[in-house]
Each structure stands twice: as C-alpha cells, then as structure tokens.
Amino acid sequence: MSDTPVDSSKRTWLIASTCAGAVGAGFVATPFVSSFQPSERAKAAGAAVEVDISALKAGEKLTVEWRGKPVWIMKRTPEQVESLKKVEGQLADPNSSRTAYPIPEYAKNGHRSIKPEIMVAVGICTHLGCSPGDKFAAGPQPSLPDDWQGGFLCACHGSTFDLAGRVFKNKPAPDNLEVPPHMYLSDTKLIIGEDKKA
C-alpha cells in the first residue's frame, strides 16, 4: 500500500474525461451503426418496402413509394370486386396477356391480385407517365361513361382504368397498370419488391 496521498482533483479530472470519451464514442458509433440500414439511394434502386395494411378499410387506398414510383394498395369492397366482371367486355386487355412489362403469375386473373380484395399496382399511366386520379364512385360523372363502375381516370389524356388497373378500350394508354412483385408476410403485412421467400 502506498503512503502517497490521493489527489482528488486528478481523480475528478480522470473520471470526467473518461465519461466524456464514452459519450464521444457513442456519438461516433451511432452514424456507423445507422449506416447498415439501406440508404435512400438503395431504396430507390429497388430495395423492398414493407407495408402495414392493418388500418386499411374497405374502399380505401394508400400509396407507398417503391423504386421511385407510387404503388397503390387498395382494399376493394365486395361490390367493387364484383364490378370487375361487369366491365371485362370494355377492356383492352382483360386477362393481362400483353407483355410490355412482366406480370406476375398471381396477377393473371380477373382481379389481378393475390387476394381478390387487395389491389397492388404502380400508379403510373402507361401512356405518358402521369398519375391517374381516383374515381371510385360508380355512375355517370364528367369525363366518364354513364355506366362507370369505379376506377381511375388519367386526366392528362383521358385514359380510364378499372379497379384492377386494367385499361379500357380505345384509350391512349396502351397497357394495364403495372403490378409490382409483392407477397404477404402476414394478413396485415405486405412486402413490395419481393415475391419469393429467400
């Protein structure tokens, strides 16, 4: 044991500098750890986007961004799903058989989706890249036919799409809205940009 007296001011200085160093290390480590998350550039390049659809009510639509594009997720009412059959004769490509872009196998049906009530589509008109507006109400309306069943209207040049994103005949848009790859992680969680389990 030493007989040298303890210098309390040095002890205080050592404790304070050690604490300051620990705080500084924390500030340096935080950006380093957060750098492991996908950057905005990586997300724009195609990183998958997870979406919670638990709050989505029947008849509502939400929009998320994937690869810099708006992706619509709509929960169709039973009546809206039924209306899809009524317009098939008026559509340019009712069975999504055109191949301007790849259509997932699970979207090659009358509702163009995995679950009949949930539509997932890229909200960009296939004519010149405008974003169509919601025209969900059925019935006659300006710029729409009298037997309108609900869907989307691209105000730029008048292209119309049904509630499955299928384009009507004799419109400027050459193709149906794109269906991005997607899959369900659970009943309320959807991932856009992936459709196969790794």
Please give the positions annotated as active site: 157
Sign of the C-alpha dihedral computed for residues 85, 90, 91 and 92 taken in this order: positive
The two tokens of residue 171 are 């419109």
Q: E strands, the chain, where?
A: 49-52, 61-66, 69-75, 118-122, 133-135, 151-154, 159-162, 182-184, 189-192
Determine contact, residues 121/79, Cβ cutoff 8 Å. no
The two tokens of residue 91 are 């559509």
The single residue listed with the structure tokens 């200085």 is 13
Amino acid at 125: C
Q: Nearest Cα to 77, choosing from 120, 116, 110?
A: 116
